[in-house]
Structure 1
Amino acid sequence: MALDNVETKSRVEKFEFVMERVYGNYRDVSDPCAWTPPPAPGGHRGRYLWTDAFGVINFLTLYKMHTELKAESGYPERYLTFAERLVDTVHDVLGRTRDGTSRLPGATDSEPLAGGLRIGKVDETGSDGDGQYHHYLTQWMFALNRLSMATGNPIYNRQACLLGKAIHPHFLVGLETDRPRMVWKVAMDLSRPLVSSEGNLDPLDGFVTFSLVQASAKKFGDGEVFREEISNYKKVSERRGGHIPSLDFLDLGMTLVSVQWFYDEDWAVTLASRCCNILKNLFDEEYHLKFGASRLAFREFGACLGIECFRATVGPEGDLYDYFKEMSDAMIEQYNDDGTQTPNELKPITRVMFASALIPGAFQAGFFGPEHIKTVT
């Protein structure tokens, strides 16, 4: 992305604007090390794991973009500090019991993620109550991994390793059988599943995220930390006959984000092609317009994010990409942060995902330099 381009600078400004709607006027902060992210609606004690994972990654995008604009923007390292401060805050809130008095079972001050991380649901119980989501946890692992790649500091990737080791056994069922499966939500203390069903993205997401974190661990001299876990995700996926994309914009988009890391492998190319065909059909049918005022913009922004990651991987040429680019840009341009009828509790997640759709940045493979991930056999 050419930073001397007027359109790009406009997108960076929009990006910063919506990020400040979530995290306050951080550009006015004189000492980033003393910054504490303000509590946001829709999260318990102001924190929601998915939203803040995107927040961390977005700060890393801003760091690299302002590094390239250094003559204009002064001190880009402040964005790394904001990302680190957000990580610390999430660990201190969602890594603790809801009353904040103790770490989650299994965690300690030296290993704060050994008990996992809560979702951050406002309600403690009920069908939409708090617990731990596999997909949110792997998204947080990805954010920690990207922070290590941006800073060169292995501590965050090691935290991702610790988190992965802690949560993995609790989401897998029947590994000793020929039909292993997963559950997508477990209790806050990891003691039991809260659902019996399997998340559509979880096996693929686990395989890709754990592979990415392991590749970085090897780079940092920590060895092959997830061989067994990656093998388990493969077993679940094989039992399912591979990943089957849904008709959900967010599911399709995050699938494209995942497969970009393996685009030199046949299975990833095939899966990306399936996702693109489904997306084209949905766009042709104007599927996203059928929900009217009940549209969830953040799910559409997930599709936009995936499209841009896909474009960056395979190149921007071709009629299909031009079509997707037109649809993605239209979705982004339709969004009005002040005028959109978004419920207050969904504004933070919508805003951080809007920013990521505008500039995928740190979500894209190779954003912090070449990375080589090999499938574990």
Structure 2
Amino acid sequence: MLSWIRPPAKTMATSRNILRFTEAMRLVYGPFDDLSEDAARAWIAPENPGAGGHRGRYLWTDSFGVVNFITLFKETSSPIYLTFAKQLVKTVHDVLGKTRDGTARLPGATKEEPLKGGLRIGKIHATGSDCDGQYHHYLTLWMFALNRLSLATGEKEWNQLAVQLAKAIHPHFVGHKNGHATKMVWKKSVDLQTTLVPREGHLDAVTGFAVYRLLQRTAEHLHGPGTLSSEIAHYRALMGRESANSDPLDLGMGLWICHFFRDEDWARTLESQSLEIARTLLNHEHGILGRDAAHRLAFREFGMCLGLECFGTDGEFKKGAEAVVDFWQGYLEDSEDEDLRPITLVMYAAALIPGAFRDGYLGRG
């Protein structure tokens, strides 16, 4: 273990950070914490304010939303936040698990197996260069959110849904030849039949490898033997080309994935590269902290902070991550970019209190 790494802290967050965390979530999901338990059970995640995207839903933002609600449950011991997490999941499945007009489930899905058609990204536009479709890295993040909900509630059905989604989307994103995995693609059409971006996502293979193992581990703990062995083997065969880069979000999400399997060789390699780059990015003279806000993207930097916190960095890294979060504090509510505001707010909350993004925070399973 490197000298600047320590195990993740298990202490509860400060009340000041909980207030900031909750307010950020309110700005995205409305005044949810004013509701009674009965009202929470009928709560539908709003379109406005909302996660952005099509009909108020955006899969990356809502993935953070679910995990953040679970964090609020653990930090406050109030079960109402688990109710909000469940209701948000149901809303996402009802919107992004259906066609854009909301009249039918995505191809392959049924009432009994609602995620067999995958989940839409939630892009505003149906066509064009930034059109709706399905992203592998968004789908694996949603699987993780469902998995954390199972661990938080002890209810197996959420992880079963994650496994269902994992098995459904895998053959569409992973190419095969003679029974061997050969490549991955980054973006598919809404119906998963057309490849929209044929290149491989930077961390898609390693993220699939890690998240599918987490799903399988929980499956074995809560609802019988796991069923993802072949998919995990495919991802493992495609790993080895990953390397850290200077994009703060990529760097942070790479560290986040590594921290679940920090003792494995692939994680040690990616972690070492990532921390060296993070040292440069957090340099007060030449790094991002010396740049004007107009030339930075807050949510990408919050991703880096989340990864550093989950990995358990100390010293200069912890101070640097705290400085990044503090820098953006005054910009959050007055952001002029309405499209990025929801994703920025939920990732700000997670950077403040990583909570359920951390390994071991909800126990093992």
Tell me the TM-score normalised to structure 1 length.
0.89
2:362 is the alignment partner of 1:368: yes
Alignment deviations for residues 82-135 of structure 1 (CA, whole Å, 9 cap, x no partner): 000000000000000000000000001111101000000001111111000000
1-structure distance, mates of 2:108, 2:149:
24
Give the 3 Å change call, closer, same or farther, for CA 339–369 of structure 1 in structure 2. closer
| 1:169-208 equivalence runs, <5 A | 169-176=171-178, 180-208=182-210
Identify the residue that residue 73 of structure 2 maps to in structure 1.
Answer: 63
Q: Secondary structure at the match of 2:115?
A: coil
Alignment deviations for residues 186-224 of structure 1 (CA, whole Å, 9 cap, x no partner): 000011211111100100110000010011011123312
* RMSD across aligned positions (CA): 1.6
Identify the residue that residue 278 of structure 2 maps to in structure 1.
Answer: 279
Q: Secondary structure at the match of 1:181?
A: strand
Q: 1:36 aligns with which of 44, 55, 66?
A: 44
1-structure distance, mates of 2:303, 2:182:
29
Alignment deviations for residues 327-370 of structure 1 (CA, whole Å, 9 cap, x no partner): 10011111225565440011000000000000000000000113
Partner amino acid for 1:299? R
Q: 1:326 aligns with which of 305, 312, 319?
A: 319
Give 1:234 deviation, angstroms: 0.9
2:29 is the alignment partner of 1:23: yes
Q: 1:12 aligns with which of 10, 18, 24?
A: 18
| 1:74-93 equivalence runs, <5 A | 76-93=78-95
Partner amino acid for 1:330? A
Q: Secondary structure at the match of 1:130?
A: coil
Larger mean CA deviation between 84-93 and 269-278 belongs to 269-278
Tell me the TM-score normalised to structure 2 length.
0.92
Give 1:246 deviation, angstroms: 1.6
Give 1:268 deviation, angstroms: 1.3
How many percent identity over aligned positions?
50
Identify the residue that residue 248 of structure 1 maps to in structure 2.
Answer: 247
Gaps of 5+ in 2: 1-9
Identify the residue that residue 4 of structure 2 maps to in structure 1.
Answer: none
1-structure distance, mates of 2:222, 2:98:
29
1-structure distance, mates of 2:133, 2:290:
32
Identify the residue that residue 5 of structure 2 maps to in structure 1.
Answer: none
Identify the residue that residue 73 of structure 1 maps to in structure 2.
Answer: none
Give 1:282 deviation, angstroms: 2.0
Partner amino acid for 1:252? L
Larger mean CA deviation between 153-162 and 272-281 belongs to 272-281
2-structure distance, mates of 1:339, 1:41:
15
| 1:341-356 equivalence runs, <5 A | 341-356=335-350
Identify the residue that residue 3 of structure 2 maps to in structure 1.
Answer: none
Partner amino acid for 2:325? I
Identify the residue that residue 6 of structure 2 maps to in structure 1.
Answer: none
Q: 2:124 aligns with which of 108, 122, 125?
A: 122
2:58 is the alignment partner of 1:52: no
Give the 3 Å change call, closer, same or farther, for CA 246–101 of structure 1 in structure 2. same
Whether the 8 Å CA contact 2:156–2:223 is kept in 1: the answer is no
| 1:136-147 equivalence runs, <5 A | 136-147=138-149
Larger mean CA deviation between 216-225 and 351-360 belongs to 216-225
Give the 3 Å change call, closer, same or farther, for CA 103–289 of structure 1 in structure 2. farther
